[in-house]
Amino acid sequence: MSAGLLERRGRRGDRIFDELESSPFEPLAEPPRYPPPRAAVDPDSAKSWLRRALPLLRAHRALFAVSLTMSFIALLAQVQIPNLIGTAIDRSLRAHAVPLEHYAVLIGAAIAIREVANYVGRRYLLETAYAIEYDMRNEIYAHLSSLSFPFYDRVQSGQLISRSNSDVRAVQMYLALAPTVFVQCAVVVIAFVEMFTINVPLTLVTMASLPLTFAVAVAMRKKMFPVSWLIQARLAEVATIVEENVGGIRVVKSFAAEQRQLSLLARAADRVRWSYEKDADIRGTWAPTIENLPRVGLAVILLYGGLLVLHGHLQVGTLFTFQAYMLLFQAPFRQLGMVIMMGQRASASAGRIYEILDERPEVVNRPGAEDLGESAREVRMEDASFAYADGTPVLDHFQLHLGAGETVALVGRTGSGKSTVARLLNRSYDVTGGRITIDGRDVAGLTLESLRARVGVVTDDPFLFSVSIRDNIAYGRPDAPLEEVVAAARAADADGFVSRLPKGYDTVVGERGYTLSGGQRQRIAIARTLLVNPPILVLDDATSAIDVQVEQRIHASLGRILEGRTTLVIAHRLSTIALADRVVLLEGGRIVASGTHSELMESEPRYAQVLARIEEDDQGPEGSA
């Protein structure tokens, strides 16, 4: 019954083919529940990292402007407080010219304005920061999704995880906090204007330490950058080790290699510790200087101002005002040191992020690419050649023809390039020579979305997501009704064991589906592809982990479902080869023989040798439990 339902779906798809051909292909997916990013990093790699990140700030400029404005208002109120207190000392406590209550009200009002403005400014600052982080994470993930398989062949997943997490956070913190700190540093300018109006010589004395503070900050910045880069790189190394150990925990435990892996992690962590210690040394050397130079200025003010007070050239309240201003400078200078360190960390992190964003996908839709219709059936590989990034040739002028509705078994020794053929059919990789056509149309001129929707591939090591079995089967058609999900599972002989699970199709599988056996994962993967109902199907040793009895039941269902469907079966077992109308033998990157199983056994010694070697290498299935 399940096979019949899938067959009816296939016939229904053929009837509506003409309607689909008249409209562009749109991959089936869930509607977005969250808004897309409002901005992206500037793609011009010639610009500085900060200029490239400015579009992220501009996209949220309204929130950010409110935040900075309120921070500035808070600073204006803060700057008035020392002046009001100094004036109150001179005019109320000493001269008794103005009631003290007058200044108390003004000081209270300034404090209230400062607190309200600080609250609003910080609230909107945090909203801006998280909005920037949201945009960056989405942009990185979208870009990672667009990159081709060769990129993932050479990049460690732990590196990508680190750059998508800690590096994004470092850039976000700097973009959001640095402008606010610089606004706070404006308190110095405002305070100096106030001080100039009070006493010019004392103001010049107060300014004496600022050039030295700036010079120290520049020197600290140069020291911090290489160490900041090193910290982020070594944190990524630790993330890689952890990710690999968690993903490969079964291998680690099966070889009792826990202590060895722990030692590996310890060495990586020790390198991170050394980097942090070097960072702390630099901060310990330079940051106190930046923070304490204003205190030296305070001592100079007290000395010089005290002499002026003793000689009657300066009032006590004015000296208090200058002293309070100098104390007010200490927080911005302390934050300036922090921002310098954050800036170097952000610069290093941005460089690592831009390395990813500047990667260009190698397999893309070409200009004028057309959609592949549902009726596509005939496949040809004409003089196809291919080599991976290391230059090792895999296919050499490869010739293969799959007639419409034909099932062909591809047989060859391990490492002969059989799986590579499957990867080339759906353009996971592009051929380096020759071409591949479907119904006479070069796949290089087809849209990737329509091509991959029409060419279904089931691999020997399927990946399952940590969601329910129903969601795993319906991954390619999220809106598929349960009836069709069950039908696909029955066709893959998965319905029996799924129904026995505590929650049936709502059972959530563990990470990568490891709560299921290898054979069960393969059956779920087969059902997932059958539900999409592609007109061209590639089974890449898709039943290698399934025992013979279950495999026979699957083949009985597949035999009916594959009728009218063009299928390439990459086979290791005679039972799988029996599904094929024709068998081709791959050797040395080329097809060296073609015919039925019986014909090849009689006429091609190399074919019999390959089957014998496969039989020797077969260590037995994992079973269907």
Q: Compute mean pLDDT per 10 residues along the chain, 625 residues long, and list them.
A: 49 38 52 78 89 90 90 85 81 77 87 91 89 90 87 81 84 84 75 78 74 72 76 79 72 73 84 85 77 74 79 78 73 70 83 90 88 83 87 86 89 84 90 91 90 86 86 87 90 87 87 78 88 86 68 68 80 76 88 88 86 64 40
Q: CA dihedral in degrees (516, 517, 523, 525; nearest 10)?
A: 60
Measured CA to CA, the distance from residue 305 to residue 394 in angstroms comes to: 84
Residue 533, phi-psi category: left (phi > 0), alpha (psi -120 to 50), beta (remainder): left
Residue with tokens 């460089």: 351
Planar angle of CA 441, 442, 446, nearest 5 degrees: 85
As annotated, the residues of the chain forming the CATH 3.40.50.300 domain(s) are: 405-434+452-617
* pLDDT for the residue numbered 109: 92
CATH for 49-151+159-218+283-357 (3.40.50.2300, 1.20.1560.10, 3.20.20.70, 2.70.98.90): 1.20.1560.10
- Per the CB < 8 A criterion, the answer to whether 509 and 427 are in contact is no
Could you identify the residue written with the tokens 């291919």? 386
As a whole number of angstroms, the distance between CA 424 and CA 413 comes to 19
Task: Give me the helices (H) in 311-378, please.
Answer: 316-357
The reported pLDDT for the residue numbered 509 is: 86
Q: At what angle do helices 482-491 and 548-561 cross, to 10 degrees?
A: 120
Considering the chain, tell me which residue range(s) the CATH 1.20.1560.10 domain(s) occupy.
49-151+159-218+283-357
DSSP 164: H
Whole-number Cα distances in Å, 623 to 18, 508, 544: 44, 21, 10
The answer regarding whether domain 405-434+452-617 maps to CATH 3.40.50.300 reads yes
pLDDT, residue 379, reads 92
> Which residue from 432, 452, 458 is spatially nearest to 369, judged by alpha carbons?
452
Please give the pLDDT value at position 27.
59
pLDDT of residue 13: 40
Q: What span, in angstroms and rounded, lies between the C-alpha atoms of 573 and 570? A: 10
Question: Going by DSSP bridges, is the β-strand pair 379-387/393-402 parallel, antiparallel, or unpaired?
Answer: antiparallel
- Enter the pTM of the model: 0.72
Find out whether 306 and 266 touch, Cβ atoms under 8 Å: no
Quote the crossing angle between the two packed helices 210-247 and 157-164, to the nearest 10°.
140
Sign of torsion over alpha carbons 65, 67, 68, 73 = positive
Distance separating alpha carbons of residues 232 and 167, to the nearest angstrom: 7
Q: Which residues contact 416 (CB under 8 A, 6 or more apart)?
A: 586, 587, 588, 589
The three-class DSSP label of residue 441 is: strand
